[in-house]
Amino acid sequence: MKTATLTHASDARSMSRAAVWWLAARPHTLGLSAMPVLAGCALAWHQGAAPRWLIALAALLSAICIQIGTNLLNDVGDFERGTDGPERQGPLRATAQGLLTPRAVRRAGLGALGAAFLLGIPLVWAGGWPIVILGLLSLVCGWGYTSGPHPIAYGSLGEVFVWVFFGVAAVAGMCWLQGAPLNAATFWLGHILGTLAAAVMLVNNTRDMPTDSAAGRKTLAVRTGRGGCNILYTLMLVQPYLTWPLLVAAQPMQHWTLLTAPWAAWLIWRFWRQPGGQAMNVLLAQTVRLQMGWVLVLALGLLVEHFVFAA
């Protein structure tokens, strides 16, 4: 049984403490932080930048720490705001189930953000003030996703936040750290990744529409209704393939990522047919894998072109 998809409290209470913390960290979401780092590095190196391996590793670890910190603070934040009740359709949350105390989860979440800050020090040394601004904004938004008077997750701009920080800003920051120019290719690649990441959040919020609406959360899914979610999800999964010519025009490359188009079409079909409930958790995980698969195919193609055929 995968801890990230547990939905029954009896299963969770039989887990070890380490497994509970692993559950709270939501490992199935961590690829959303790693993929922009990989994509940014691949694009930068394809454009002729010399690899900065240690900087790439520090950026990867920092991004993952921010993601873990955000997830942990979301776990305790939703519990304290009363939005993770017994009618929840998503995977179990450690705080709501009493598996971990709110104080412990909050401290761990802030600790993860603190670790990201420390890992960001060499990134600032390598990238200067632009990385200072990007890093601090990422940390503040990680905290403010569920915390503060106006949590990002409870409003209708959550998908926009994801598009910016898991897409455009992340790819641009990585290219900058690797010494590559920021150009149209940087933007289009960031846009594609950010929109796929936003689709993941849309699935999550579509699943939670009944409980979010009852709790007063005005997410994009709540505001648009299920019909609007169907259209938005379709547009989000179609756009990488519609945007692809613009990316290739800015940075010539092979077309291997188009092989993932049938996968995206299948997910769109599944989303339209899925009425909701816990089955949406599977669709959420599959949407994460689509983004990961798209990036892995892109990165492999770019690196082979640069290091093999261009050698």
Q: Quick one: pLDDT at residue 260?
A: 95
Q: State mean pLDDT over 119-123.
A: 94
Q: Is the pLDDT of residue 55 over 60?
A: yes
User: Which residue, among 308, 305, 55, 301, has the nearest Cα to 179 in the 3D structure?
Assistant: 55
| pLDDT tens for each residue of 145-160 | 877 777 887 888 889 9
Q: Quick one: pLDDT at residue 308?
A: 66
| pLDDT tens for each residue of 72-104 | 998 888 787 766 655 555 667 778 788 889 999
| pLDDT tens for each residue of 252-266 | 888 889 999 999 999
- Biggest CA–CA distance in the chain, Å, is 59
| pLDDT tens for each residue of 157-171 | 889 999 999 999 999
- Beta-carbon contacts of 202 under 8 Å, excluding residues fewer than 6 positions away, are 159, 220, 221, 229, 232, 233, 236
Q: Quick one: pLDDT at residue 137?
A: 92
| Domain range list for the chain | 3-304
**Percent of the chain predicted with pLDDT > 90:** 60
Q: Quick one: pLDDT at residue 88?
A: 58
Q: Quick one: pLDDT at residue 87?
A: 56
Q: Is the pLDDT of residue 231 over 80?
A: yes
Q: Is the pLDDT of residue 234 over 70?
A: yes
Predicted model pTM: 0.90
Q: Quick one: pLDDT at residue 254?
A: 84
Query: 3-304 — its CATH code?
Result: 1.10.600
Q: State mean pLDDT over 202-213.
A: 89
Q: Quick one: pLDDT at residue 309?
A: 61
Q: Quick one: pLDDT at residue 83?
A: 65
Q: Are 163 and 187 in contact (CB under 8 A)?
A: no
Q: Quick one: pLDDT at residue 153?
A: 79
